[in-house]
Amino acid sequence: MIRVVTIEREYGSGGADIAKLLAERLEWKLWDQRLTDEIARQLECDSGAVEERAERRDALHYRLFKAFLRGSFEGSLNPRLKMVDADCIREAAERVVTAAAQSGDSVIVGRGSAYYLHDRPDALHVFIYAPLEAKVHRLRAGGKSEGEAIELAQTVDRDRSAYIKQYFDIDWPDREFFHLMINSTIGDEMVVQAILGSIAALNQRSS
């Protein structure tokens, strides 16, 4: 019985919109912004700090500063001082994603959820992608300029790929981790219907 759907996505492909629509149809809990907020709560920081480092490695200057601060006199005087970095976010994300899956009836967006939950028989893993021009069009419809849309579509996924490689040693996206890989240019509604159909077929097979 499928109780969890993970949605991995290319930036600008509409994965977040599709996940929201899917959660509404299933009447399941959506773990997207809620996932960010819970990670921030566990790390006792602002959600914006988590979003800023979402699915990307820390910049070199930040890694150097973190190493300096953790070994510094100032750091020893203030043991409560916290650095919100990719390492602690990844650890918190694993805890939150695992707990969400345990609770069931969850649609989980990104954060390595397909990799953390790879061995769960009750999880369906979906990858959403689209051609560059379609992603740019969607981003422009969301208020980005053409230049911003092109740059984001080209760079965000590069950062995600580096993040997945660093923490999971996987070349993103690795097809073996996904049950479905769908081009969102067929339309968000069609994508959702394909996912719902897959859930129904898998549930019928397991009954």
pLDDT confidence bin for 83, thresholds 50/70/90: low
Q: How confident is the model at residue 131 (pLDDT cuts 50, 70, 90)?
A: very high
pLDDT digits (tens, 9 = 90+) for 22-68: 999 999 999 999 999 998 898 888 888 787 766 555 444 444 434 43
Contacts (Cβ under 8 Å, ≥6 apart) of 168: 112, 115
Which band of pLDDT confidence, cut at 50, 70 and 90, is reported for residue 7? Answer: very high
Q: Which of 111, 104, 95 is nearest to 32 (CA)?
A: 111
Domains in the chain, ordered, with CATH? 4-206 (3.40.50.300)
List the beta bridge partners of residue 31: 108
pLDDT digits (tens, 9 = 90+) for 10-23: 999 999 999 999 99
**Model's pTM, two decimal places?**
0.84
Q: Distances in Å between the alpha carbon of 202 and those of 97, 176, 196?
A: 22, 18, 10
Which of 195, 189, 137, 136 lies closest to 7 in space, CA to CA?
A: 195
Specify the higher pLDDT residue, 190 or 74.
190
**Distance from C-alpha of 40 to C-alpha of 89, rounded to nearest angstrom:** 8
